Amino acid sequence: MKEGFTYLLVFLSLPVVLFLLRAVSDLPASILPPPEMVAELLWEERSSLLGHTLETLKIALLGYALANVVTLSLAISFLYFKRLENFVTPWTVVVKNIPYVTLASILIVTMGDTITPKLIIVVLVTFFPLLANLNKGLKATDPVLIDRMRTLNASRWQVFRKVRWPSALPYYMAAHEIAFTSSIVGAIVAEWFFSSKGLGFLIVQATTEYRADRLYAVTFIASMLSVFAYIAIRLIDQKLFKWKHRN
């Protein structure tokens, strides 16, 4: 609750910061718009902004869901097939470090303006921290607990469900704090390169039209989405690990 109140104060202070910047600078409204101009645009174009925001959210959530499917599949496979991990890990590192500008250009040429390349960008932006943390968590299980489960003739599934997964869950949730907010950024980046709708498209449009008020408004919305995503993960973490937060 206190954490959410802190973020609320930050958002409420943004107009004050913008007002102070205008007071100490000689920049015109076309470059540094006053807070009331941004607020007016947010209200007047609320329907259009909402539609573009929902489009970005759709791409972010779908891509994030796919990233989690890929993460869970690979992390569990790595746990039982060491050779697969040795083969796949270098490829994940290489793909992670490909510049997104280059990758986006390749996807535009091969797939065009469809939802598929946007989802691929979001998956690539988010899956690496998820995979790294979950893989580490699954392997950080206390070996004594595993030996005791095997002594009780527990199956692989029972060992995974009762020992390995509970041990890895804190690592996995920690990765979500980074990856979930990154899914919003990834969706906007994807829309930046190839899209006719979404917040990324609005940023490009506002830049080419020199609409600073719209640019600030979209930036504000994107920031709010990322912060809300982070708070949502924090709330889920608090529900799952009540004992940890109580201590």
**Distance of alpha carbon 101 from alpha carbon 95, whole angstroms:** 13
Integer CA distances (angstroms), 87 to 77, 84, 120, 128, 180, in order: 12, 5, 21, 16, 27
Residue 4: its pLDDT value, please? 60
- Nearest of 146, 225, 150, 120 to residue 180 by alpha carbon: 225
Beta strands in the chain (DSSP E): none
- Paired tokens of 108: 């535009």
Residues comprising the chain, all counted = 247
Please tell me the pTM assigned to this model: 0.85
- Paired tokens of 95: 């793909």
- Nearest of 196, 153, 168 to residue 72 by alpha carbon: 168
Q: Could you tell me which CATH class the domain 40-246 is placed in?
A: mainly alpha
**Distance of alpha carbon 51 from alpha carbon 63, whole angstroms:** 18
**Amino acid symbol at 59:** I
DSSP secondary structure letters along 179-235: HHHHHHHHHHHHHHHS-SSSHHHHHHHHHHTT-HHHHHHHHHHHHHHHHHHHHHHHH
Residue 126: its pLDDT value, please? 92
Where do the domains of the chain lie? 40-246
**Distance of alpha carbon 109 from alpha carbon 112, whole angstroms:** 6
CB atoms within 10 A of CB 152: 9
**Distance of alpha carbon 141 from alpha carbon 168, whole angstroms:** 7
Mean pLDDT per 10-residue segment, the chain (247 residues): 65 74 76 84 90 94 95 92 89 83 79 84 91 91 86 86 90 92 90 83 89 90 89 86 60
**Distance of alpha carbon 99 from alpha carbon 96, whole angstroms:** 8
- Nearest of 97, 96, 118 to residue 107 by alpha carbon: 118
